[in-house]
Amino acid sequence: MNLLIGGSPCTHWSIAQTKNRETEASGIGWELFLNYRIARDKYKPDYFLYENNKSMSPAIRAQITAELGVEPVLINSALVSAQNRQRLYWVGKRNPDGTYSQVPVEQPEDRGLLLRDILETGIAWQEKSYCITATEYKGSNPQQTLSKHRRTMVAEPVRIGTIENDAKTQAFDSQQYRVYSPDGKSVTLCGNGGGLGAKTGLYATPVDTDADGILHLGSLYGQHSRWGVFAKDGKCPTITASMGMGGGHVPMVPTRTDEEGHCQKNPTTAKQIYEVRDGKISIGNTWHPIKLRDGFYIIRKLTVRECMRLQTVPEEYVFPVSNSQAYKMLGNGWTVDVIAHIMSHFDGLTTEPVEVLSMYDGMSCGHIALDKLGATVATYYATEIDKYAVQTIQHNFPETIQLGDAFQVRDDDWRLGEEL
């Protein structure tokens, strides 16, 4: 066998396990690891890679190191992704005498990716995502994120309102009269349509009031004397007789969708709207510091696609399951580009067809990493018992040979194939 990869479930060892956390080399967590070690001793791969959570106890970490015979390297996925995810990797190469020695792995180059770089829409108020977990689908709330109680939330600017003028009423809600926050994505540019913001949308840019107390948000068509948009919080500019001429001489104001309380329900989306004012967000009638510009926001969790980007999973990868199951797999999975970086240190991986055994395969991040490296996978064996993960693996990699429960490796008559 060329390669053995895997990361036994860390549930029993993680610091997030508040009850019955295992801190010694015994219990269910240790038995799951032993399956991996037994597979290595049984099939004697040229290279092995074992991954697990940094937060395991020092006693377990030391015992894994003793069992595998190599020291772990700590790599934070933040170097290649917008996610803080610190993991330990034990990486070894088989020597001619059958023992294993350390494969030196340097740290990946820092790509400088931030959370805002992977968002489909919205605004990030932190530079890096918290480590995504298998329970990401459960969602969270802004207060949890702000107090660092895990899970990353994203702010979606709410449309500020509709321009009022003498030609159209406030209820007239066409594209050309809508005003958007500059913090969000632009609307789709349109080559047709006339009047106001029909082609590009209108965007309000908060500025300080001038000496007369006028809060000038901006002007349409780049004109300062006409098509002015002003905030209700400031004074109205002097009205003149030229208003009768139309053509933008009438001062315009954005009408906000929420002008009352701090937190209200949007009747069209049934999502809570939060107000940000002076660097603070109102949650439950309490103001919390936040790095967002003043305005109204819907706070949402990361999408499946955004979590894929955090784990550097190619966007063509398909989840033929519910979003809940996709979140679970991504949270349990590996950061693909970290795995590819480590595998790039394995001699001959991209020059000869490789045979692989993946223990606790999950969504097959190891296979994705091999594909990214341009390796030719001759045979890919996988142990996995989650039916949704198996369904997802077979959809993306139908040639994968599913072996079922990893505990079967302990059976004397359990064989992968004569060629191994």
The tens digit of pLDDT for each residue in 353-386 reads: 999 999 999 999 999 999 999 999 999 999 999 9
What does DSSP say about strands 72-76 and 86-94: parallel, antiparallel, or unpaired? antiparallel
Which of 40-49, 169-178, 270-279, 411-420 is predicted with the least confidence, judged by mean pLDDT?
Answer: 169-178
Q: What is the CATH number of the domain that holds 364?
A: 3.40.50.150
Do the domain assignments include residue 284?
A: no
Give me the helices (H) in 27-149, please: 28-43, 58-68, 142-146
Distance, in Å, from the CA atom of 311 to the CA atom of 331, rounded to the nearest integer, reads 9
Distance, in Å, from the CA atom of 129 to the CA atom of 73, rounded to the nearest integer, reads 22
Do the domain assignments include residue 62?
A: yes
Do the domain assignments include residue 102?
A: yes
Q: Which residue has the higher pLDDT, 91 or 17?
A: 91
Do the domain assignments include residue 110?
A: yes
Do the domain assignments include residue 128?
A: no
- Whether 35 has a pLDDT exceeding 50, the answer reads yes
Do the domain assignments include residue 354?
A: yes
40 contact partners, CB below 8 Å, separation of at least 6: 4, 48, 68
Distance, in Å, from the CA atom of 40 to the CA atom of 43, rounded to the nearest integer, reads 6
- Whether 222 has a pLDDT exceeding 70, the answer reads no
Domain of 404 in residue numbering reads as: 3-114+306-410
Do the domain assignments include residue 52?
A: yes
Do the domain assignments include residue 318?
A: yes
Q: Which among 22, 86, 26, 24 has a CA at the least distance from the CA of 51?
A: 86
Q: Is the pTM of this model over 0.85?
A: no
Q: Which residues of 126-135 are buried (b: 16+ CB within 10 A; e: fewer)?
A: bebbbbbbbe
Count: domains in the chain:
1
